[in-house]
């Protein structure tokens, strides 16, 4: 995969992540409203938190999209999958504690699951090998 294009599922993943990340960074209120998670106006840091989430996703997208070697692609996919798994856990936890309403929890966890599915399919299609080998190498 040196200088070869990313497999289609990983390209879709990186572009989708870049889109949601850029949207969250530039238009935090609009993005959260589209995800059924209206931002409280009484909390001055709430828009910063959304922008931080957006910059994180945009960075993960760029790492994946610009990966030039299989090792770089593996690390980018693993980093994104770890973040998505934590996002899913956070949405489930937030819903369980009453901090997140049903539609918002479904939007956040559904997005994380979709990104995890794209990562899994892209990993297989791209022939990136076993996860343990990617994590174990330095």
pLDDT tens track for 65-116 = 999 998 999 999 999 999 999 999 999 999 999 988 888 899 889 999 999 9
pLDDT for position 79: 96
User: Rounded to two decimals, what is the model's pTM?
Assistant: 0.83
Give the orientation angle of helix 102-125 with respect to helix 70-96, to 10 degrees: 160
Task: Identify which of 15-19, 108-112, 127-131 has the greatest average pLDDT.
Answer: 15-19
Q: Which of the four pLDDT bands, split at 50, 70 and 90, describes residue 122?
A: very high
pLDDT tens, position by position, 35-70: 877 666 667 677 888 899 999 999 999 999 999 998
* pLDDT attached to residue 42: 62
Alpha carbons 52 and 30: distance in angstroms, whole number: 15
11-42: b (≥16 Cβ within 10 Å) or e: ebbbebbbebbbbbbeebeebbeebebeeeee
Fill in the DSSP letter of residue 5.
Answer: P
Residue 74's pLDDT is what? 93
């Amino acid at each position: 995969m040196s200088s070869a294009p990313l497999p289609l599922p990983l390209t879709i993943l990186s572009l989708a992540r870049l889109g949601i990340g850029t949207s969250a960074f530039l238009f935090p209120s609009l993005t959260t409203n589209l995800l059924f998670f209206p931002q409280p106006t009484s909390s001055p840091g709430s828009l910063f938190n959304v922008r931080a989430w957006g910059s994180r996703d945009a960075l993960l997208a760029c790492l994946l999209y610009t990966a030039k070697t299989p090792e770089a692609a593996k690390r980018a996919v693993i980093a994104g999958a770890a973040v998505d798994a934590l996002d899913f856990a956070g949405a489930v936890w937030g819903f369980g504690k009453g901090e997140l309403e049903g539609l918002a929890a479904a939007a956040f966890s559904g997005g994380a699951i979709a990104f995890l599915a794209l990562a899994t399919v892209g990993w297989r299609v791209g022939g990136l090998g076993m996860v343990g080998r990617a994590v174990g190498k330095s």
